[in-house]
């Protein structure tokens, strides 16, 4: 299985369409902040914001015809009422809004934690919440991929999935309490390849938003591959270790 993951889209949906065409992923994981990145109205104006929202749904329609598309809600997806609609996402063939839900794809179980669910994972500053305890009872060691946005990846790792995909501006890859975790951010994406339910490769790809496409070179049409390091904001934590493939 090949998973394409990204988040925090700042208006460059054509570049992501090119990436889907080039890599032909089995699953596309969208980790939040998809219709707004927090600056939409300020930087774009109302007309361009509306165009960006419609481009998101056009991307879903196009990509849902070739891949399974799994979506969770980011905090900025609530910036403007009605822009992000779970009902509209679920009406598109091949697309599934999974915030607070699970879905099985080709024998792998995905758990979605939008920003609201992710923030419910801990109680106070240092304890798992009752919500997390209920998830642990149901899914610990059983869920394969956690797709989440925003905070509390440390607590999500207590579910012991094979992979965590986290949106929210950081970019990189590491082990969180021993769990392989990838962080997605603007103008970039991560490809995770599984063989027999084990991760075989993780790669990052950069988009060129000023030209609206993924920079091309090799036979697959991708040139800007880069290694993924521990995100800077997480290097100070003892529960974070480098991830090497």
What is residue 81's predicted lDDT score, i.e. its pLDDT?
Answer: 84
Q: How confident is the model at residue 14 (pLDDT cuts 50, 70, 90)?
A: confident
| Residue bearing tokens 């905070």 | 151
Q: Calculate what percentage of the chain has a pLDDT beyond 70.
A: 87
Q: Which two tokens stand for residue 8?
A: 């925090």
Query: Which has the higher per-residue pLDDT, 228 or 96?
Result: 96
Residue ranges of alpha helices (H) inside the chain are: 13-23, 40-44, 46-63, 86-91, 115-119, 130-139, 153-156
Integer angstrom CA distances of residue 229 from 7, 148, 154, 183, 185? 18, 19, 17, 10, 13
> pTM (2 decimals)?
0.91
What is residue 168's predicted lDDT score, i.e. its pLDDT?
Answer: 86
Q: What is the pLDDT of residues 69-80, one digit of tens each?
A: 999 999 989 888
Contact between 216 and 230 under an 8 Å Cβ cutoff? The reply is: no
Q: Measured between alpha carbons, how far is 152 from 78 in angstroms, rounded to an integer?
A: 19
What is residue 46's predicted lDDT score, i.e. its pLDDT?
Answer: 54
What is residue 217's predicted lDDT score, i.e. its pLDDT?
Answer: 40
| Cα Rg of the chain (Å, integer) | 17
Farthest-apart Cα atoms in the chain, separation: 50
Q: Average pLDDT, whole number, for the chain?
A: 87
* Cβ-Cβ contacts under 8 Å for 39 (sequence gap 6 or more): 10
Q: How confident is the model at residue 232 (pLDDT cuts 50, 70, 90)?
A: confident
Neighbours of 39 (CB within 10 A): 12
Domains and CATH numbers, the chain: 2-241 (3.60.21.10)
Bridge partners of 148?
A: 113, 166
Q: Check whether 99 has a pLDDT greater than 50.
A: yes
Q: Which two tokens stand for residue 55?
A: 């481009």
Contact between 149 and 167 under an 8 Å Cβ cutoff? The reply is: yes
Q: Check whether 44 has a pLDDT greater than 80.
A: no
Q: Measured between alpha carbons, how far is 228 from 202 in angstroms, rounded to an integer?
A: 8
What is residue 13's predicted lDDT score, i.e. its pLDDT?
Answer: 85
Q: What is the pLDDT of residues 150-201, one digit of tens each?
A: 889 999 999 999 999 999 878 899 999 999 999 998 878 899 999 988 999 9
Q: What is the pLDDT of residues 110-123, one digit of tens each?
A: 999 999 999 999 98
Contact between 7 and 185 under an 8 Å Cβ cutoff? The reply is: yes
Q: Mean pLDDT throughout 99-111?
A: 97
Q: Calculate what percentage of the chain has a pLDDT beyond 90.
A: 61
Q: Mean pLDDT throughout 216-220?
A: 40
Q: Measured between alpha carbons, how far is 93 from 64 in angstroms, rounded to an integer?
A: 6
Q: Check whether 49 has a pLDDT greater than 80.
A: no
Q: Measured between alpha carbons, how far is 149 from 169 in angstroms, rounded to an integer?
A: 10
Q: Measured between alpha carbons, how far is 13 from 19 in angstroms, rounded to an integer?
A: 10
Q: Mean pLDDT throughout 129-144?
A: 96
Query: Which has the higher per-residue pLDDT, 3 or 48?
Result: 3
| Residue bearing tokens 């305890």 | 133
Q: Mean pLDDT throughout 99-117?
A: 97
């Amino acid at each position: 299985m090949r998973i394409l993951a990204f988040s925090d889209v700042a208006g460059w949906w054509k570049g992501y369409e090119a990436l889907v065409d080039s890599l032909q992923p089995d699953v596309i994981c969208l980790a939040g902040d998809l219709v707004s990145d927090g600056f939409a109205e300020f930087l774009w104006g109302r007309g361009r914001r509306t165009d960006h929202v419609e481009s998101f749904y056009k991307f879903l329609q196009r990509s849902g015809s070739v891949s399974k598309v799994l979506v969770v809600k980011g905090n900025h997806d609530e910036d403007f009422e009605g822009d992000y609609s779970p009902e509209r996402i679920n009406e598109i063939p091949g697309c599934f809004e999974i915030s607070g839900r699970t879905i099985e794809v080709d024998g792998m179980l995905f758990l979605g934690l939008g920003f609201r669910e992710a923030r419910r994972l801990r109680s106070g500053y240092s304890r798992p919440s009752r919500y997390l305890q209920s998830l642990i009872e149901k899914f610990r060691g059983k869920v394969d991929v956690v797709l989440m946005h925003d905070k509390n990846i440390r607590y999500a790792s207590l579910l012991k999935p094979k992979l965590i995909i986290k949106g929210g501006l950081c970019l990189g890859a590491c082990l969180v309490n021993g769990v392989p975790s990838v962080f997605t951010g603007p103008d970039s994406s991560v490809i995770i390849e599984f063989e027999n339910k084990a991760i075989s490769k993780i790669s990052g790809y950069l988009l060129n938003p000023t030209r609206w496409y993924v920079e091309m070179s090799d036979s697959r049409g991708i040139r800007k591959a880069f290694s993924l390091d521990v995100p800077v904001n997480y290097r100070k934590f003892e529960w974070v270790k480098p991830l090497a493939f």
